[in-house]
Amino acid sequence: MANTLADKLKKWCRGEALHASHALLIVVPEHTEIAVIEDTMQTIKCLGRVRVRGRIFGDTDDEVLVLCECRETVTAENVPQEVAAPEGLAAWPIITAFDKPNPHNDFNIKLNALLQTEGKTLNDVQALFTEAQHTPSPEESLIRAVADLIDKTNKPATESGGYRRLRIFSGIVPTPAGEEQFDYWLEQAYLMVEESDGSDKDKRRRIMESLKGPALEVIKAVRLSDPDVTPVKCLEALESAFGLAESGDDLYFSFRLLQQQHGEKLSDFLRRLERTLTKVVRRGGLPASNMNTARVDQLLKGAVNADLMLLQLRLRERRANPPTFLELLKEIRTEEEYEASKVKLNQSVHGVHT
């Protein structure tokens, strides 16, 4: 049948004054639109621009023979035997006017068919060679390049853009060597859930990989009751089991009692306030929209060793429109650097005078 279609293609090309080296014959379903045929054939990169020149019925009523003109030269070596049809239909056979290659050239046919399926070209394969090296044969080098190409195209997105692994937490008290304290582990886990691009299933897997002992048993019990539990619910269950038993109101009361310690820089005190304030909001003790106001109020109340700096920052006048945590931290760090530079300058001037 293939030889019959090849002969028909040759005669058809003569009737259309079309050179056989730029012509193809494909077999498609009857009601396939021309635009669909041309778009599908142009997925074979080596053909270039493809245009339908004519259509006739085939041996059966539901099949149509389509004559296609290609901009690039057609050879039996660079054209696959079929092309993937759209919408999951059966592949369309491709017939050329040339004899099929000898069996020893069968590797080239398979290679081009594989590249066409992956939407790649030989140029993409050659680009994978980062350094010139001697290979026993061209076939072996092409096989190695194709393997690298498929490995790169099939690489999961979550591996390339993933979040760093969490450290181990078991829930054993006192905390064993090499494990993370629960508060710090929980903070990193929440950051992973909020910032990583993976799915909920991937995030839940990352959480379970970092657990062992009693902590892992808690998550197993949670998943037994709800196999599709979200990563946030997993962290909330661990917080209920191993975190402080304080409610949001209790945590807010503790937050209002925090004060700057002797020798503690104002920026360090602000970071300590932020850690507690985040727990308060997470437990529902304060709306997130009130964080900036509560932060400034407690900083004014608890900073007992930085009255002059607070006066320079004019925080009391800005309580109606308080800055965010990052803005406030930047302003405080700037003032601290300025004060430190003044102290160094005074010390150097005093030394020169002496």
The pLDDT assigned to 100 comes to: 59
Strand order across the beta sheet in which 23-29 lies: 50-57, 63-70, 23-29, 92-95, 82-83
Token representation of residue 106? 């069968």
Residue 309 CB neighbour total at 10 angstroms = 18
CA proximity to 99, closest of 10, 176, 34: 10
85, exposed or middle or buried, with CB in 10 Å at 0-12, 13-18, 19+? Answer: middle
pTM for the full model?
0.42
Q: What is the 3-state secondary structure (H, E, C) of the chain?
A: CHHHHHHHHHHHHHHCCCCHHHEEEEEEECCCCHHHHHHHHCCCHHHCCEEEEEEEECCCCCEEEEEEEECCCCCCCCCCCEECCHHHCCCEEEECCCCCCCHHHHHHHHHHHHHHHHCCCHHHHHCCCCCCCCCCCHHHHHHHHHHHHHHHHCCCHHHHCCCCCCCCECCCCCCCCCCCCHHHHHHHHHHHHHHCCCCHHHHHHHHHHCECHHHHHHHHHHHHHCCCCCHHHHHHHHHHHHCCCCCHHHHHHHHCCCCCCCCCCHHHHHHHHHHHHHHHHHCCCCCHHHHHHHHHHHHHHHCCCCHHHHHHHCCCCCCCCCCCHHHHHHHHHHHHHHHHHHHHHHHHHHHHHC
The pLDDT assigned to 92 comes to: 86
The pLDDT assigned to 294 comes to: 92
Roughly what angle, to the nearest 10 degrees, separates helices 182-195 and 200-209? 160
The pLDDT assigned to 339 comes to: 84
Under 8 Å between Cβ of 46 and 65: no
The pLDDT assigned to 45 comes to: 80
Token representation of residue 194? 């909020």
Under 8 Å between Cβ of 163 and 196: yes
Give the C-alpha separation, 200 to 228, whole Å. 9
What tens-digit pLDDT sequence spans the chain (354 residues)? 566 888 888 888 888 888 888 888 889 888 888 888 888 888 888 888 888 888 888 877 788 899 999 888 887 777 888 888 877 678 888 888 876 555 445 566 666 666 666 666 666 666 665 444 554 566 677 777 777 777 666 555 444 445 567 888 888 888 888 888 888 888 888 888 888 888 888 888 889 888 989 999 999 999 888 888 899 899 888 888 887 666 778 888 888 999 988 888 889 989 999 988 988 888 788 888 899 999 989 988 888 877 777 777 888 888 888 899 999 899 889 888 888 888 787 777 666 665
The pLDDT assigned to 122 comes to: 67
Tell me if the bond preceding 174 is cis, omega within 30° of 0.
yes
Q: Residue 83: beta bridge partners?
A: 92
